[in-house]
Amino acid sequence: MKDVALVSKLAAQLYTYLGLGWRWTVSFWRLVAFSTLLMPGFIQMVVFYFLSPRVLRSVPYGLEARNRLDIYLPRKEWRRQGARPTVIFITGGAWTIGYKAWGALLARRLSQRGVLVFCLDYRNFPQGNALDMLCDVNTGIAWVLRNAAAFGGDGESFHLVGQSAGGQLGALALMMQVHQVQVQQPQVGAFPAWDPALIRGFVGVSGAYNLYALADHLHRRGLYRHLFEAIHSLEGKPKLRELSPTYQMRKLGAAVASRLPPILILHGTADKSVPMEIAVEFVAALREAGSPARLKLYKERTHTRPVVEDPMRGGRDELMDDVLSMVLGAECHNRQMPMLPSALIDLASWVCPF
């Protein structure tokens, strides 16, 4: 309940930045409709989240108010087989409405397949700016690397997964940690330090890798430029390029690319929040620097469909298969039972603001 109260308070503060702009208002009510249509599925997840003994909620990883994470333990039959591969998941939420429980659908399914999953919470704006978010993400990753073994994690198999804003934060944190090790000097966005060599792979899902290119696009969609620049400011000045993984990769080049783990970038071709060109450009920058990054485009998938609608629809969960294949190093194909009728999910997708 404390988490709910805090998020509600911050949402009220955020409203003062958004004001009564019509784009934001329309997006808000479309989000309400989207959530209402999918509510039967969300209720199933709420029951699992609060009642399953395999979910350890709000475990502290640092001293800040939102330095909490959720842990999804694999089923006992998996744990009896030995230490489990570990995924550190960084949720999205437009840097303003992110919450650790947003990763519950993917985390539940990965844990059912024997993966130990940690879902990080972190300060959102206006509680913190982008540098505060990076500090929280780095603190959370460092905590997991130190403590995963206590929950049955394999110290030789850590994978970082970030979705949307979490993709930008995760990619940037990883790159700056690698750069910090390379030059042996403190780097902005790499505090506290952790060993990037422990990360065996990075998966970015619908990630916002070029903030500079996204600023006008997101302004037209209701995330207004003054708010976007306030979020991504350092010492009071907007730093959209400096906080963009694409620009950093071009700047840091082969010295950092050669030390990065395998990278898989997943993106929907119908993503209206973060156009697929952002992912294509990031992968091109990685490859130009020497990283053998892989890109997979999901045909006709929107920003939310791989992480919300598709898992609820049942059948093949392509995102889960791709993440699991990356983690296990072998091709995986899984089919899931539907959580909701397809017609209801189609209607929700139609009204979704993302």
* Residues contacting 269, CB < 8 A, separation 6+: 276, 297, 298, 299, 300, 301
Distance between CA atoms of residues 31 and 33, nearest Å: 5
With the CA atoms of 27, 33, 38 and 43 taken in that order, what torsion angle do they form, in degrees rounded to the nearest 10?
A: 100
Residue 18 is predicted with a pLDDT of 55
Summarize the confidence of residues 302-317 as an average pLDDT: 92
DSSP string, 278-344: HHHHHHHHHHHHT---EEEEETT--SSTTTTHHHHH-EE-HHHHHHHHHHHTS----EE--SS-HHH
For residues 116 and 56, the answer to whether their CB atoms sit within 8 Å is no
Tens digits of residue pLDDT in 241-256: 999 999 999 999 999 9
Q: What is the pLDDT of residues 121-149, one digit of tens each?
A: 999 999 999 999 999 999 999 999 999 99
Shortest CA distance to 177 belongs to which of 197, 157, 160, 162? 197
Quickly state the pLDDT bin for 237 (edges 50, 70, 90).
Answer: very high
Q: Is the pLDDT of residue 276 over 80?
A: yes
Q: For residue 46, what pLDDT band results from cuts at 50, 70 and 90?
A: very high
- Whole-number mean pLDDT of the chain? 92
Residue with tokens 């119908």: 270
Alpha-carbon distance 24 to 92, whole Å?
18
Check whether 9 has a pLDDT greater than 80. Answer: no
Q: Report, as residue numbers or ranges, the catalytic residues.
A: 164, 271, 303
* Higher pLDDT, residue 1 or 111: 111
pLDDT of residue 14: 56
Confidence of residue 334 (pLDDT cuts 50, 70, 90): confident
Q: Is the pLDDT of residue 16 over 90?
A: no
At 294, phi and psi to the nearest 5?
-110, 145
**What is the rounded CA–CA span in Å between residue 125 and residue 227?**
9
Q: Which domains does the chain have, with CATH numbers?
A: 2-351 (3.40.50.1820)
Mean pLDDT calculated for residue range 149-175: 97
pLDDT at 131: 97
User: Average of pLDDT values for 327-354?
Assistant: 88
pLDDT confidence band for 206 (50 / 70 / 90): very high
List Cβ neighbours of 338 (8 Å cut-off, separation of 6 or more): 312, 313, 314, 315
Whole-structure pTM value: 0.93
Q: 70-85: per-residue pLDDT in tens?
A: 999 999 999 899 999 9
Q: What pLDDT does residue 213 have?
A: 97
Give the CA count within 13 Å in the CB-facing half-sphere of 134.
27
- Do the Cβ atoms of 209 and 199 come closer than 8 Å? no
pLDDT for 40 equals 92
Give the pLDDT confidence score for residue 29 in this predicted structure: 86
Contacts of 299 (CB under 8 A, 6+ apart): 269
Averaged pLDDT, 168-174: 99
Position with higher pLDDT, 41 vs 20:
41
ω into 126 cis (within 30 of 0): yes
Does residue 259 carry a pLDDT above 90? yes
At 82, the amino acid letter reads G
Answer with the residue of higher pLDDT: 235 or 57: 57
DSSP 3-state assignment of 108? helix
